[in-house]
Amino acid sequence: MPTLLSIQSSARHENSHSRDLSKELIAKLNKQGEFDVKERDLAETIPHISEKWLGANWTPKDDRNDEQKAHLALSDTLIEQLKAADVLVFGAPIYNFSVPAALKAWIDMVCRAGDTFRYTENGPEGLLKGKKAYIVIASGGVPVDSAYDYATPYLRQVLGFIGITDVEIIAADGLVANEAASLAKANAEIERLAA
């Protein structure tokens, strides 16, 4: 059974458009019960990388001591969860023109040379090819893919960097100006993608 991994980054658990729309998308995608759905809530304890984390990460795997392995334990778990997923659904609100800090912390934890990408003579190569990603973006005022939307292109870039290039965007933007129209547009896109 293929695995669908839901990665949610909104600080809000209730009345979160990105979470609610993600749930709707997952329900539509999984209407036949064909996915083993896993969840990762980034609003709950994703730490930022530290100097010790960096030192452990740049130490060759076979040379890491127990303390270094402990610093990378969560990162290793997140990477294994990501590798095991066939389909990814990201719930990503736009905070101050970009992604929530929790999502950036997750990105820092999973973008690791030798694990999710590698350096070649032709530049970096993503190692997580063959996965499908859906990004559910919710924004009060920043139009998705506008000149001042730094979240959507950043997420496309990061996913492409680790090899995930089949990416669909479901946008609920302009929520402050016209919430009903924004949600209707996002739900129509969900219906189209899940058809």
Query: Does the annotation flag 10 for ligand binding?
Result: yes
Based on its alpha-carbon atoms, the radius of gyration of the chain, rounded to whole angstroms, reads 17
Q: What secondary structure does DSSP assign to the chain, as a single string? A: --EEEEEE--S-SSS-HHHHHHHHHHHHHTTTS--EEEEEETTS--PPP-HHHHHHHTS-GGG--HHHHHHTHHHHHHHHHHHH-SEEEEEEE-BTTB--HHHHHHHHHH--BTTTEEEETTEEEES-TT-EEEEEEE-SSPPTTSTT--HHHHHHHHHHHTT--EEEEEEE--TTT-HHHHHHHHHHHHHHHH-
Q: Calculate the CA 69 to chain-centre distance.
A: 24
The answer to whether the annotation marks 50 as part of a ligand binding site is no
Tokens linked to 125 = 């190569």
Which residues are part of a known binding site for FMN?
10, 16-18
Which residues are part of a known binding site?
10, 16-18
